[in-house]
Structure 1
Amino acid sequence: MKILKLTIENSNNEKVREIDFKETGTSVIYGKITKPNQIKETSNSIGKSLLLKFVDYIFAANEDPNVVKKEINGWTLIAIVKYENKEFKVKRKLGLSEMEVDGEPKLLKDYKEFFNINRSVYNKQIFVKQKSHIISSRSEPTLEDYLSFFSLLDLSDLAIITGEYYKIQDNLKELKKLESQLISVFGNIKPKEINEKIFLTNQNVQEKEDEIKKLNKKISSLELSEEKLHFIESYSDKSYELKKIKSFYEATKLEVNRLKEFIEESDEIDISHSQINLLYKKAKIDIPEMVKRRFEEVEGFYNTVFLDRKNTHQKKIMELENRKEELETDITIKSAEIDEIAKIISVNKIFQEAIKIYEEKSLEIQQLKYNQGDLARIEKAIKSREAEELKLTNEYVVVKQKYDKYEELIKKFQKFIYSTVKEIYTEQVEAFFSIELKKIHKVNRPFKVELNLTGDGGEGVGEVKKLIVDLMVFKYNSLVELLVHDSSCYSGGIDKRQIASIVKIANNIALKENKQFILSVNDFQVRKDDKELMAILDDRIIELAEDDKLLKFTMKE
């Protein structure tokens, strides 16, 4: 997809600018200095970057309030684009994401599907500000950065397998976290000691159960009636049941209190759109009708989502209150039953001693069985983690096989960058570009993309490396037909000679590969004694200056 023409219309449908872009080669947006003593003011407020952001909008960038400010909200971008050798007229209403293709309205997502626009890929060739990393706007590339980068360079198998590898690493991280949480119950126990702990716990349970059997025989030897033995067992069981009911009752009370606090706090911060309007009236500030409607929409969304949640919580409170009453009744009944059994048992001292021993042993067994359950969960977590580690090892083998398959293609990229650096620098500077598959690791990501320049100690070397990688992707990718560079990409201490060389190389790539290179550049960044460079820059599509800004006025910050 290419952009051939862009028209900017204000809210009155008046044409503000009409700009033709070159279908092949370099389209230059030139910033002319009219105030030599105020270079930054002249170059930074005339609309070069804004124009590139408008181009980005045509290529389906998301709405950005930093771009569409109040003064241009509702303005229209009208563009002629070329896609699959056919021209289309597209429109985008600023601030509303309203799109049209040949007069047919489309949502932004439908617009992307129509032109097959993958924004994660386009973000690797449209730069309206400096990057932080040679392949990312972030200092540390994300999975999406690697997937997009590999896809652009036709390393599609690497892109697919890298996504799977990341997924296994993330699963492994969560399993390790779960394992640590479960193990923490047992203090400082080490994973390798778990099997020993499980064995010893099982043995202890068996021993306690044997002791209970012996106790029953001892009680029988005292010629206790079956009925009294039943009382002992019943007393122990009902005591344990009562303990569980009381615990659940307390948890229910806590949940009721939490939900009530949430509703009370929510009511305190509730404010309607009419109250907001009243506040603005007191402040003597007029609110546009569109903003009032937005307040109403937000309030409607609030009523739909938040108040539904509040009603749900209130229903839950009623359910929990009913449950509390049921639990209170259960507690009363169980307590009465236990008291009654206790009266029966208390008449015989032997029963009292027997039930005390029985309870102690029962509690010991219960605790051991709790430990058994916890240890079983730990054992399961360890086995899951070990299985995922094995899966990671196997997946790494697949990644290595895919990586080795692209050895020759990566060498081609290395040679391109090496020769490109020779064109950019007059001094002896050498370059080595690498897509490195690191050693297998449970946490560290598998790939590292680097470009090392030896012989350049200038302050702009970091920015030069980013631009060189952009040129490589521009030349070899078959997914995006343009490269967009803002003038800020050429700041950061880059020498004018290097800027000139990079622009000329990009222009040659665009001509040879039938692509678009859209560049904004400032007058003070240009080496004017370079005839080849000036031939490119003089054939500019638009020249902006302090007295001829893109929108004919200066927007407020």
Structure 2
Amino acid sequence: MLHELSSNLPDFKTARFEPGVNIALAIRTRSTASKDSRNAVGKSSMLRVLDFLFGSDARSPHVLRNVALEKSTYELLLDLGENRSNVRRSIAEMKFVEVNDGSGPVSLPNAEWRVLLGQELFGLTGSELEPSFRSLLSYYLRDVGSGAYAGRPIETFRKQRAMDTQRPLAYLFGLDLELVAAARNVAEASRSAAELRRAARDPIMGMTLGRSAEIDAEVRTLDIRRRQLEVQVSDFRVVEQYSQHRRRADELSREIRLLNDEIYTQERRIADIRASLEDENREQPDHDYVTRVFQEVGRELPQLVERRLEEVHEFHQSVIRNRRRYLENERDTAIQLRDRATSRLVAADEERASTMRLLQEGGALETFLQLQEQLSDVNGRLSELRQRQSVVDRWENSSRHLQLEAAKLEIDISTDVQERSEDLESIARIFSDFAYEIYGSDRPASLVIEPSKSGYSISPTIGGDQSQGVRSIVMFCFDLTLAVVAKRRGRGPDFLVHDSHLYDAVEARQVASALRLANEVTEREGMQYIATLNSDALERAQAEGINFDFHQCTELTDEYESGGLFGLRFN
């Protein structure tokens, strides 16, 4: 149980708790202006101070991080195990908590303090299947700032996933934590598969992933290329001075082209000279023509003319001989040039053939390195494709596998629920009895714990209209049921704390009935119920004629300077 909440702040409103129902009352003063509100007197802040002493991080904008409270220290006297311990924690040194069980103060890191609280208040053993201490405490000390009073009773903060509520609730209700862990694994796998399916439907992502058959075809093609490259790399022989040999082969090719041109040119020249020589032999002039003409007309050539014709004939023969010798010399020169070019052509061709054989049998070091790089690129691409293929195969098979896993899990949970039917019936009966105490037979109530595809489905309901007031009473009955069941099983503390926000929309008669029920349950179960409440709400509840006992643990007012919880005013 909790016994006393205090602070080093001079005007802090110390709260002293007793067994049973404890109410921190907010009272309006006559001098308060109409624009002021009791929402600022510190009712919710008192719960946040308690939460701070139970190890919360108190991250900004937590009320205790206000500069006006930077030197404040808070203390809580409570029962831990068999000892009554005093807990002290300051804003200046938030990472440590001082604990004194009567044998002297001990400073603990906040993380170790949480572990100790988990062991002492909830019986946690440190198993990886167990929930965290803070997730369990959030059902006993709901934070209005986190939206703990705005959602379903099974939730302790806004937009909390149902899966995240299962582990703490299963622990407090005594359900199978291994099945909860299995359900969580299936749910996470299903969520991942769904995200992958959505991504695959995206045109860009779909092209990135591909289809299994398409990837398989590409893998096979690349594998053939890989084997070819491996053979080339294995058989490759690096040729020394490869680039020089390559350049020599190119030079020889250019020289061979020039020699072929030279041989062709000389062949044409030789043919032309031979044709000229043949023409010379065929087209010699007939020097006897003039003598025959004179004879035919009966006249004789003068001797002088004959001598001149002979001289002309001799001169002409001399020219022909000189021209023939010139053509023959030119022919012989052309033949020599042709034969020389032919000889060089043969030599160059043989040298080029030898060089090319050398180049074909091996290659340059750069070429070898390029082959190795290509092989590395192909291996990298193959590895990427095979990983993608594995992802796609898992994705394509995941839906069927997850359906089987979910069906098996649902059968296992159904079996577990059947085996626990008596315990679950007892829990449902406690909830229904609590709701009956408040609403009577007007509103049937049930707390159903049943199997589902995602684990245990826990649904507290009270019939009739679902106004905010009814939903608040559902939460009250659920929290009280949870606290009673967990305490009986040794899995929960003997206190429960509610903020006044829980009662804001509840009718006065139901407020009175809830406080009377809390009075009866805490007395019967040896527990403690703490609530903050506005004085006018308490007055209206008392006016309903329903008797309930309570202890006023502290009084808060809406006076500016000293009436609030901290005894000082700050923004």
TM-score by length of structure 1 reads 0.63
Question: Shift in Å at residue 164 of structure 1?
Answer: 3.3
Distance 1:415 1:234 in 2: 86
Distance 1:45 1:225 in 2: 96
Question: Shift in Å at residue 32 of structure 1?
Answer: 1.6
8 Å contact from structure 1 (residues 34, 42) kept in 2: no
For the aligned residues, what is the CA RMSD? 4.1
Distance 1:480 1:88 in 2: 15
Q: Which has the larger radius of gyration?
A: 2
8 Å contact from structure 2 (residues 186, 406) kept in 1: yes
Residue aligning to 1:510: 522
Q: How does 1:141-540 map to 2 (within 5 A)?
A: 141-142=160-161, 143-155=163-175, 157=176, 159-171=177-189, 173-174=191-192, 194-195=212-213, 198=216, 202=220, 227-231=358-362, 238-239=369-370, 373-385=383-395, 386=397, 389=402, 394-425=408-439, 428-439=442-453, 445-478=454-487, 479-491=492-504, 493-526=505-538, 527-533=541-547, 535-537=548-550, 539-540=551-552
8 Å contact from structure 1 (residues 438, 447) kept in 2: yes
Greater Cα shift, 100-109 or 33-42: 33-42
In structure 2, relative to structure 1, the CA distance for the partners of 1:139 and 1:181 (3 Å cut) is: closer
TM-score by length of structure 2 reads 0.61
CA-to-partner distance for each residue in 1:438-462, whole Å, 9 max, x for gaps? 23xxxxx444432333223534222
Question: Shift in Å at residue 528 of structure 1?
Answer: 2.5
Identity %: 15
Paired amino acid for 1:50: S
Question: Shift in Å at residue 520 of structure 1?
Answer: 0.8
Paired amino acid for 2:171: S
SS at match of 1:540: strand
| Matching of residue 105 in structure 1 with residue 107 in structure 2 | yes
SS at match of 2:477: helix
Question: Shift in Å at residue 175 of structure 1?
Answer: 6.3
8 Å contact from structure 1 (residues 182, 378) kept in 2: no
Residue aligning to 1:114: 116
In structure 2, relative to structure 1, the CA distance for the partners of 1:467 and 1:451 (3 Å cut) is: same
Structure 2 residue runs of 5 or longer lacking an equivalent are 122-132, 232-352
Distance 1:477 1:49 in 2: 25
Structure 1 residue runs of 5 or longer lacking an equivalent are 214-221, 248-365, 440-444
Question: Shift in Å at residue 126 of structure 1?
Answer: 0.8
Residue aligning to 1:83: 80
Question: Shift in Å at residue 378 of structure 1?
Answer: 3.6
Residue aligning to 2:294: none
Paired amino acid for 1:412: S
8 Å contact from structure 2 (residues 414, 450) kept in 1: no
Residue aligning to 2:141: 126
8 Å contact from structure 1 (residues 133, 139) kept in 2: no
Residue aligning to 2:43: 48
Question: Shift in Å at residue 486 of structure 1?
Answer: 1.0
In structure 2, relative to structure 1, the CA distance for the partners of 1:57 and 1:226 (3 Å cut) is: same
Q: How does 1:57-96 map to 2 (within 5 A)?
A: 57-65=52-60, 66-68=62-64, 69-96=66-93
8 Å contact from structure 2 (residues 11, 567) kept in 1: no
CA-to-partner distance for each residue in 1:477-496, whole Å, 9 max, x for gaps? 121211001111112x2211
8 Å contact from structure 2 (residues 75, 86) kept in 1: yes
Distance 2:520 2:529 in 1: 10
SS at match of 1:497: helix
8 Å contact from structure 2 (residues 46, 565) kept in 1: no
SS at match of 1:41: coil
Distance 2:218 2:110 in 1: 63
CA-to-partner distance for each residue in 1:511-539, whole Å, 9 max, x for gaps? 11111101111122232323444x424x4
Question: Shift in Å at residue 467 of structure 1?
Answer: 1.8
Residue aligning to 2:554: 542
